[in-house]
């Protein structure tokens, strides 16, 4: 109906207004940090080198100082999650998670050809954990173990390792999610809001 469509448009515009408000606040904070750091640098510098404090025996140029201040402001103002994650993890889970979870019946039946045919899907899904070294190492070992056991035709080992792989809390939670509502969406990944 047209009222639900209007409601969706209003929700999307409210989200973009919130994003712009956060961006404005970030810019104001960075500007204030620049002003404060400039004042502090001018107070600490010798009178003849205002804005050019001496660092480790060398004089820094004004450009280098401004770049250092801008870099520190950018580092302080950024979010770690934004730097780490541009959506690749969730995209990997959405693309490859369902296919890897569907292998459960094949693994239980001992159909190792189907497991081997899905080698890349399991490998790509393993990239979901790449931002956490310990988790990525664990999941990579499970993936490699599954593939080695499948090549060696060891059905019991494949079942054991696959069971450990899909019992990870992220995959377990993903398997319990309801299907996404993609009504009026030509590309669900391009949506500005979660439905």
Residues 118-129: tens digit of each pLDDT: 999 999 999 889
Three-state DSSP at 2 gives: helix
> Residue 54 contacts by C-beta under 8 Å, 6 or more apart in sequence?
46, 60
Q: Hey, what long-range contacts does 189-192 have (CB within 8 A, 24 or more apart)?
A: 189/87, 189/91, 189/94, 192/12, 192/15, 192/16
> Residue 140 contacts by C-beta under 8 Å, 6 or more apart in sequence?
126
What integer pLDDT is reported at residue 53 of this predicted model? 47
Question: In whole angstroms, what is the distance from residue 106 CA to residue 115 CA?
Answer: 7
What integer pLDDT is reported at residue 21 of this predicted model? 72
118 contacts 104 by C-beta, under 8 angstroms: no
pLDDT less than 50: residues of the chain: 50-54, 56-57, 79-83, 195
What integer pLDDT is reported at residue 18 of this predicted model? 66
Question: In whole angstroms, what is the distance from residue 24 CA to residue 12 CA?
Answer: 18
Question: In whole angstroms, what is the distance from residue 108 CA to residue 162 CA?
Answer: 10
Question: In whole angstroms, what is the distance from residue 96 CA to residue 106 CA?
Answer: 16
Q: Which tokens go with 6?
A: 């209007």
Three-state DSSP at 45 gives: coil
């Amino acid at each position: 109906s047209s009222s639900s469509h209007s409601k969706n448009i209003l929700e999307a515009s409210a989200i973009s207004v919130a994003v712009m408000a956060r961006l404005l606040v970030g810019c104001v904070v960075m500007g204030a940090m620049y002003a404060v750091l400039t004042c502090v640098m001018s107070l600490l510098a010798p009178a003849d080198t205002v804005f050019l404090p001496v660092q480790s025996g060398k004089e820094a140029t004004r450009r280098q100082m401004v770049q250092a201040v801008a870099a520190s402001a950018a580092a302080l103002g950024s979010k770690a999650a934004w730097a780490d994650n541009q959506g690749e993890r969730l995209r990997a889970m959405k693309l490859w998670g369902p296919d890897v979870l569907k292998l459960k019946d094949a693994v239980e039946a001992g159909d190792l050809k189907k497991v081997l045919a899905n080698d890349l899907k399991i490998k790509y899904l393993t990239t979901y954990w790449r931002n956490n070294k310990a988790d990525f190492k664990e999941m990579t070992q499970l993936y490699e173990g599954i593939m080695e056991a499948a090549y060696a035709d060891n059905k019991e080992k494949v079942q054991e390792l696959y069971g450990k792989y899909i019992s990870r809390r992220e995959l377990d939670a993903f398997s319990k999610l309801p299907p996404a509502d993609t009504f009026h969406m030509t590309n669900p990944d391009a949506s500005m809001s979660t439905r």
